[in-house]
Amino acid sequence: MMYPQSSWLYFFFPGFTVSVYDVTSRSLYIRWSKLPGAFSYRVMATPINTVGHSFLAYFADITVVGTLTPLAPDTVHTVKVEAIDKNGVVLAEAQTMQLTAPEIPTIEQAYSKLSNSITVEWAAVPGASSYLLTAQDGESFIETIVTNSPGTVTGLRAATLYKITIRSINAGGRSQPSLSKKARTVLSAPILTANSSSHDNIVVSWRPVHMAVGFFISIMRADGLGGMLKENTTTDFLIFSSLDPGTLYTIKAHAWDANGIPGDDSTYNQRTRPHAPGDVQVVFDSGALRATISCMPSEGASLYTIAAYSGFSKLNCSAMTASCTIFSLECGTEYSLSVIASNEAGSKSITIEEDEPGNLEVSWSDVDLSDYYVVFVKSDDGLEVHCNTSHTQCHFQSDCGFTYFISVFAYNKAGQSPLGDIFNYTTAPCCPSDFNPVFVSSDTVQIVWSPVRGAEMYETKAVDWANELLCNDTATVCTLSALQCNTQYNITVYSFSEIRGSNTSCASKHVATENPWLCCRKDHSISAYLTILNGTKQNCIFSFSGACCPSGVQLYRLGNNGIRIYWRTSEGSINYSTDLYGSKGNFTCTPNADLTYCDITEIPCGDVYTVVVSPVTDEGSKLAFCPKKIYSGNHLWSFDGNGKCECTAVCSGMQRRSNFLGYYSFLRSHVNVVYELQKIFHLVSAVISAAATVNYI
């Protein structure tokens, strides 16, 4: 009694499985379990609920991964893998279902409006639930996921050219990257400082801005009254005159680059000094030996300080109103009076700097009539310290990753100045110190560390004497690949915060890659066997190789019985040897120095050759794992009158005839001999195409 193959074969091989480990818009990357007795594997993807072809590929028995392409994007496919024995009988099958990624998006435009971001616009892709935006600057890149257009990548460096790509995403996976567009972030904002040296002016200054060729500065009353003053300049300071006394002004500034593109805006509020008090009145109380001094209020004044001088004697008082009383006067003594109206304009220029990690410096402008100053510094964990000084500078110990709130008071015998602005300063984020580079392969190192205080992002850098590899991410892990052989690297993990930038004081650790003859790597490879019916196996491996092995190996015909092999050399000066392996003989060619090709002639007809280009050590030994190429031609099938099947392979003018009588004996029991021969033809052709060919059914 006959049973369907899938029923009884699955009963005997329940462990045969298939899975999809990667997906793009038009490709499925498939992995299946190895089955004892299998001679080859047939992999097929069939679209569901849509009109389209099935896609078929064959793989040799040693292969357990493969790729099916080109498929339809955003389409559910049934993926089936069949294990086939040497007689063409299906031993077992397994299947799964997989959705391909959406179509690749097309970027319409990419532009920057802020110095830390680039905005991207694109046409929506059917089936996409989200999109992955990538901004790449050399070896470093930043990614973000958005739901629709436009989308913005943040965390970028100012005035930097980035290559922008986008991928579409659905439940199945991600598409390939789009064609890239380049966009440069705009200039960063100038860091402004300002102070008022008199009642009618404000002095504005700023630090240099990278790639800036000029600056635009504007000033107007914060209450909106009056007009706006505007200035363009190439200097680093401006003085605005003829201003109103005691008035709060809003200052805005931006830099522009050589193309006239403006950068980020910077805003600063500064009040002018109050006008000198007028109409001073003095009322004596001789019995109490005191005097009350008053004056007309000055616009914008927050404190009035009055001093009475007699020789070397000085008596004073202060108040927030335009009147105060001086005590302890002496009878018969003549006093000179000084009345000063003040506000925060004179103490506005407070500077906070972290001159070195762990040392916070607070400095300020001197204030008239002050005897000493007290600076209070409170961290965001509640700890507060203070500094008492007659100078205009204080130093504090600081910790990484904290925000400090700072206020400065001026004192004299009359008391304390009013509370001015409270400044805050965030120190650089802490450095990861517990990382330990671990090699996961000969040219790939993985670094893992614990999160640190104040860090929003991390930059991992591997530096040798001439090259630099980077990765930027919010995650606390980084994998750096494509390291050079036999090289000493300094690996550093830098922490980054948007407000303070990168902590450049982080320590490095040293690692060394292996000897160059050990660290040649293969990034990807697909292999298959071509087995002729007389039992001969020819190994066929297609791979992308780096490091020591050459890349870009190409084969060209020379006449009827010769080939020329071209390749691209890897870095450094390396000698190469070219080998051809066939059933009728092996051939070797060693090119002259500095040549990247080699000619092999007088090759026997009627064979399939494996071509290998290998680097040669100074001692003359060859590496044995570089990628191989198969040299063969088109395949023509014919039948004679006796039912004999012959295969003629035409390879560059050479002919090969192989007798397939053994196979024909097996096929005589089948009803449709031609159909079975066609199946064999598809099998052989697919294997010769090295698992990259897709047949339409």
Q: pLDDT for 193-222, tens place per residue?
A: 888 888 899 999 998 999 999 999 999 998
Q: CB-based burial of residue 336 (10 Å sphere; 0-12 exposed, 13-18 middle, 19+ buried)?
A: exposed
Residue 634 CA to residue 295 CA, distance in Å, equals 108
Sign of the C-alpha dihedral computed for residues 165, 169, 174 and 176 taken in this order = negative
- Residue-wise pLDDT tens digits, 247-295: 999 999 999 999 999 999 988 889 898 988 888 899 988 788 889 999 9
Tell me how far CA of residue 61 lies from CA of 68, 85, 348, 492, 536, in angstroms: 17, 9, 79, 45, 15
Q: Which residues contact 99 (CB under 8 A, 6 or more apart)?
A: 23, 74, 75, 76, 77, 170, 171, 172, 173
> pLDDT band for position 81 (50/70/90)?
very high
pLDDT surpassing 70 at residue 373? yes
> pLDDT band for position 347 (50/70/90)?
very low
| Lowest-confidence segment of 66-75, 320-329, 336-345, 370-379 by average pLDDT | 336-345
Which whole number is the average pLDDT over 169-180?
Answer: 92
Which whole number is the average pLDDT over 530-544?
Answer: 45
> pLDDT band for position 188 (50/70/90)?
very high
Query: H-helix or E-strand containing 341?
Result: strand 336-342
Q: Rounded to 5 degrees, what are φ and ψ at 138?
A: 65, -125
Residue 258 CA to residue 118 CA, distance in Å, equals 19
What is the pLDDT at residue 622? 67
Single out the residue of 13, 31, 6 nearest to residue 21, CA to CA. Answer: 31
pLDDT surpassing 50 at residue 244? yes
Token code pair at residue 123: 């046409």
What is the pLDDT at residue 111? 95
What is the pLDDT at residue 658? 30
Which whole number is the average pLDDT over 620-646?
Answer: 47
Share of residues in the chain with pLDDT > 90 (%): 29
Q: What share of the chain is helix, strand, coil (3-state, %, to 5)?
A: 5, 50, 45
Contact between residue 475 and residue 515 where contact means Cβ atoms under 8 Å apart: no
Query: Which DSSP string corresponds to 256-312?
Result: E-TT--B---EEEEEEPPPPPPEEEEEEEETTTTEEEEEEEPPTT--EEEEEEEETT
> pLDDT band for position 180 (50/70/90)?
very high
What is the pLDDT at residue 640? 33
User: Which of residues 449 and 677 earns the better pLDDT score?
Assistant: 449
Residue 202 CA to residue 251 CA, distance in Å, equals 10
Residue 20 CA to residue 494 CA, distance in Å, equals 36
What is the pLDDT at residue 623? 62
- Residue-wise pLDDT tens digits, 322-334: 899 998 888 888 8
pLDDT surpassing 80 at residue 407? yes
- Residue-wise pLDDT tens digits, 452-510: 999 988 988 888 876 778 888 888 988 887 777 778 888 999 998 877 777 878 888 88
- Residue-wise pLDDT tens digits, 575-594: 788 888 887 788 888 887 66
Residue 351 CA to residue 369 CA, distance in Å, equals 21
> pLDDT band for position 239 (50/70/90)?
very high
| 111-128: b (≥16 Cβ within 10 Å) or e | ebebbbbbbbebeebebb
Map residue 596 onto helix, strand or coil: coil
Single out the residue of 221, 223, 215, 293 nearest to residue 251, CA to CA. Answer: 221
What is the pLDDT at residue 314? 84
What is the pLDDT at residue 664? 28
What is the pLDDT at residue 168? 95
Fill in the amino acid letter for 3: Y
Q: How many CA atoms lie within 13 A of 683 on its CB side?
A: 23
pLDDT surpassing 90 at residue 65? no
Q: Which residues contact 112 (CB under 8 A, 6 or more apart)?
A: 118, 119, 183, 184, 185, 186
Residue 148 CA to residue 120 CA, distance in Å, equals 10
pTM of structure:
0.52
What is the pLDDT at residue 648? 30
- Residue-wise pLDDT tens digits, 113-129: 999 899 999 999 999 99
Which whole number is the average pLDDT over 528-536?
Answer: 46
Residue 508 CA to residue 206 CA, distance in Å, equals 34
What is the pLDDT at residue 671? 29
> pLDDT band for position 620 (50/70/90)?
low
What is the pLDDT at residue 545? 37
Tell me how far CA of residue 471 lies from CA of 480, 541, 568, in angstroms: 7, 32, 28
> pLDDT band for position 313 (50/70/90)?
confident
Share of residues in the chain with pLDDT > 70 (%): 78
